C-alpha cells in the first residue's frame, strides 16, 4: 500500500463547476463579437481603431495601476477586455484615439480600480468613461457620420457625410417622418426595419438591434445573465414613451437602449443581485432615460439612466426573496 503522507484537506464542497469568472467574461466577449464585427464593417477602419485603442488601453491601465499599488495582476480574468470593448462600442466611430484612451483611463482607473477592482465598483466603468468624455468633449461625442467612414475616421470627413441621429432630429423639434427621412426611408415600417438592421449613424456597437439581440440571447442561453433586467428596461421604455406620446417602437429601436439593456444594465458588480431588484433597476433606468430624452438636454439618456440606478443598487438589494421556511402553513412568524 502506498504511504500517503499528506492528504489534502479542504472544507466542503470538494468539487466545483467549470464556469469561472474568465468563462463568464469570455461569454460576454463572444456575445459582443457580432456587433463589433458589424460596427467595423459599416464604419470601417476608424471603428476598428477605436475598438483596438480602447481594449488595449483598458488592459494596460489595469496592469499599470495594479503594478503601482502592488496588487495582484488579474488581467487573465478578461474583465478589462470586456470594459474596453463595451466602452468602444458606445463611442462614435470618429472619436479620436487619445480621447478613447482618456475614456479608458476613466473607466478602468477612476471607475473601477479606485474602488477596489472587479466586483467592488459601484458605477458601470464603461458608462463612466463615456460620461466623462461626453462632459469633456461634447462636440466629438455627438458628431455622427453616415457609414461608411473613410480610412482616417473623423479627421477628413466632409460635411456631407456628417449627419444627426434620429433621436437628435426629434430632440431638435423634428418629426418622426423627418427622422425616417434621415435614414433614406419614407415609410414607418421601412424606418423601423432600417433601425432594426442598423445600417445607420450611431455609436459603433449600438446600431444593429438584430445583432444585439443575438448577443443578448446568447448570454441568457449560457446563463451568463438573466432576462429580468433587459425585459423590464425595454418594456418600461416602450410603455413610458407611449405614455408621454412618443412612438414606443421608435423609442426602443433608436439610440442605445437595447444595447444598454442587455450589456450595461446586466453588469454584475453595478446592478442588483435580487430578482425584484433587477426588475426595478431596469424599470428605473428606463424611466430616467425616457425623461432625459423627452425633457433633458441630451437627445439620449441611456448612460445617465443606468448610472443613476447604479447609485441605488444597495437599496434594491434589500428586496430579497423570502427564504425557505418563512412562508406557508408551518411558518412561525
66 binds other proteins per the rule CB under 8 A: no
Q: How far is the CB of 276 from other proteins (least distance, A)?
A: 11
What lies within 8 Å, CB to CB, of 8 at 6+ separation is none
136 binds other proteins per the rule CB under 8 A: no
Q: How far is the CB of 25 from other proteins (least distance, A)?
A: 9
Site string for other proteins, 229-268 (x = CB under 8 A): ---------------------------------------x
24 binds other proteins per the rule CB under 8 A: yes
Site string for other proteins, 203-232 (x = CB under 8 A): --------------------x--x------
CA distance 57 to 100: 8
Among positions 88, 269, 279, 280, the unique one binding other proteins when judged by CB under 8 A: 269
Alpha helix segments (H runs only) across the chain: 21-43, 45-68, 79-89, 97-105, 125-136, 138-141, 166-171, 176-182, 188-197, 209-221, 228-243, 248-253, 257-259, 275-295, 302-311, 313-316
- Of the pair 152, 223, the CB lying nearest other proteins is at 223
**Selection from 18, 13, 55 nearest residue 223 by Cα:** 18
Torsion sign across C-alpha atoms 135, 146, 236, 283: negative
What lies within 8 Å, CB to CB, of 327 at 6+ separation is none
- Of the pair 142, 317, the CB lying nearest other proteins is at 317
Q: How far is the CB of 224 from other proteins (least distance, A)?
A: 8
**Selection from 268, 271, 193, 278 nearest residue 236 by Cα:** 278
324 binds other proteins per the rule CB under 8 A: yes
Q: How far is the CB of 127 from other proteins (least distance, A)?
A: 16
* Spatial contact of 185 and 179, defined as CB atoms under 8 Å apart: no
Q: How far is the CB of 23 from other proteins (least distance, A)?
A: 7
69 binds other proteins per the rule CB under 8 A: no
Q: How far is the CB of 107 from other proteins (least distance, A)?
A: 17
320 binds other proteins per the rule CB under 8 A: yes
CA distance 193 to 253: 9
328 binds other proteins per the rule CB under 8 A: yes
In a 3-state reduction of DSSP, which class is residue 163?
A: strand
Burial of 296 (0-12, 13-18, 19+ CB in 10 A): middle
104 to 123, contacts with other proteins by CB under 8 A? 116-120
CA distance 107 to 130: 8
70 binds other proteins per the rule CB under 8 A: no
Which region among 48-56, 100-108, 179-187, 316-324 touches other proteins (by CB under 8 A)? 316-324
- Of the pair 47, 269, the CB lying nearest other proteins is at 269
In a 3-state reduction of DSSP, which class is residue 145?
A: strand
> Residues in the site for other proteins, rule: CB under 8 A?
1-2, 4, 7-17, 19-21, 23-24, 79, 116-120, 223, 226, 268-269, 273-274, 317, 320-333
Amino acid at each position: 500500500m502506498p504511504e500517503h503522507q499528506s492528504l489534502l484537506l479542504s472544507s466542503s464542497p470538494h468539487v466545483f463547476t467549470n464556469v469561472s469568472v474568465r468563462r463568464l467574461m469570455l461569454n460576454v466577449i463572444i456575445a459582443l463579437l457580432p456587433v463589433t464585427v458589424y460596427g467595423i464593417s459599416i464604419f470601417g477602419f476608424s471603428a476598428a481603431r477605436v475598438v483596438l485603442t480602447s481594449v488595449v488601453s483598458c488592459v494596460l491601465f489595469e496592469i499599470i495601476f495594479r503594478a503601482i499599488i502592488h496588487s495582484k495582476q488579474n488581467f487573465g480574468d478578461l474583465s478589462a477586455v470586456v470594459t474596453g470593448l463595451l466602452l468602444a462600442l458606445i463611442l462614435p466611430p470618429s472619436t479620436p484615439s487619445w480621447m478613447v484612451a482618456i475614456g479608458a483611463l476613466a473607466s478602468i482607473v477612476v471607475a473601477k480600480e479606485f474602488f477596489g477592482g472587479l466586483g467592488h465598483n459601484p458605477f458601470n466603468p464603461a458608462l463612466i468613461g463615456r460620461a466623462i468624455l461626453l462632459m469633456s468633449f461634447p462636440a466629438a461625442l455627438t458628431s455622427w457620420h453616415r457609414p461608411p467612414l473613410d480610412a482616417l475616421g473623423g479627421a477628413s470627413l466632409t460635411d456631407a457625410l456628417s449627419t444627426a441621429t434620429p433621436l437628435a432630429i426629434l430632440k431638435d423639434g423634428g418629426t418622426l417622418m423627418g427622422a425616417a427621412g434621415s435614414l433614406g426611408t419614407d415609410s414607418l415600417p421601412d424606418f423601423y426595419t432600417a433601425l432594426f438592421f442598423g445600417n445607420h449613424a450611431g455609436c459603433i456597437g449600438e446600431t444593429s438591434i438584430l445583432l444585439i439581440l443575438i448577443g443578448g440571447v446568447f448570454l441568457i442561453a449560457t446563463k451568463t445573465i438573466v432576462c429580468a433586467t433587459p425585459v423590464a428596461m425595454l418594456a418600461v421604455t416602450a410603455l413610458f414613451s407611449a405614455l408621454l406620446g412618443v412612438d414606443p417602437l421608435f423609442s426602443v429601436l433608436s439610440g442605445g437602449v437595447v444595447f444598454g439593456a442587455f450589456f450595461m444594465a446586466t453588469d454584475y458588480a453595478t446592478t442588483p443581485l435580487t430578482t425584484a431588484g433587477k426588475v426595478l433597476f431596469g424599470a428605473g433606468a428606463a424611466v430616467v432615460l425616457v425623461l432625459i430624452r423627452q425633457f433633458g438636454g441630451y437627445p439620449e439618456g441611456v448612460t445617465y439612466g443606468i448610472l443613476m440606478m447604479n447609485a441605488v443598487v444597495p437599496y434594491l438589494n434589500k428586496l430579497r426573496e423570502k427564504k425557505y421556511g418563512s412562508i406557508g402553513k408551518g411558518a412561525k412568524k
